[in-house]
């Protein structure tokens, strides 16, 4: 008796596995089996077993995005903006500025205690 399992792979993941097997394995029967499987997928001869609905981040095109938000830079920019034009800061920038000040020991002991108390309350 042979026990088999079915993985759920994308065609790109399957191609990666086949490529790795071709360069690093001598298991010709497995390579032929997977290669045939990939060709059937490419020809639309097989129906997918699992189709995942797009997530919110997929719909907003955030997943897989090459744009990386550098939070450290954003906090520093918010702090600089607050120094230059505090009235122009929005609530998010003020929160980042406070975080920057807290993380870089730029708060007085009183400010630090107040900031920590707000963190404890979830503000």
The whole-number mean pLDDT for each consecutive block of 10 residues of the chain, a chain of 123 residues, reads: 80 88 87 89 82 72 58 90 90 90 92 85 61
68 with 102, same domain: the answer is yes
Query: How high is the pLDDT of residue 79?
Result: 94
102 falls within a domain: yes
106 with 69, same domain: the answer is yes
Burial label for 21, CB within 10 Å (0-12, 13-18, 19+), is middle
Residues sharing a CB contact under 8 Å with residue 115, sequence separation 6 or more, in sequence order: 98, 101, 102, 107
87 falls within a domain: yes
47 falls within a domain: no
The parent domain of residue 70 ranges over 63-111
Buried b (16+ CB within 10 A) or exposed e, 28-38: eeeeeebeebb
Query: How high is the pLDDT of residue 81?
Result: 93
The pTM for the full model equals 0.45
102 with 71, same domain: the answer is yes
Q: What is the DSSP letter of 104?
A: T
31 falls within a domain: yes
Q: Is 43 helix (H, G, I), strand (E, B) or coil?
A: coil
Please count the structural domains in the chain.
2
Query: How high is the pLDDT of residue 37?
Result: 87
Find the farthest-apart pair of alpha carbons in the chain and give their distance in angstroms, rounded: 75
Percentages helix, strand, coil for the chain (3-state, rounded to 5) are: 60, 0, 40
Query: How high is the pLDDT of residue 58?
Result: 67
């Amino acid at each position: 008796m042979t026990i088999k399992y079915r993985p759920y792979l994308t065609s790109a993941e399957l191609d990666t596995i086949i490529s790795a097997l071709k360069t690093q394995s001598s298991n010709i029967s497995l390579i032929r089996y997977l290669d045939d499987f990939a060709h059937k997928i490419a020809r639309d001869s097989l129906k997918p077993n699992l189709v995942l609905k797009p997530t919110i981040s997929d719909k907003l095109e955030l997943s897989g995005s090459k744009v990386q938000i550098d939070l450290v830079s954003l906090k520093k920019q918010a702090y600089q903006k607050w120094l230059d034009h505090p009235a122009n800061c929005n609530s998010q920038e003020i929160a980042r500025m406070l975080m920057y000040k807290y993380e870089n020991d730029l708060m007085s002991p009183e400010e630090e205690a107040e900031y920590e108390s707000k963190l404890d309350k979830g503000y």
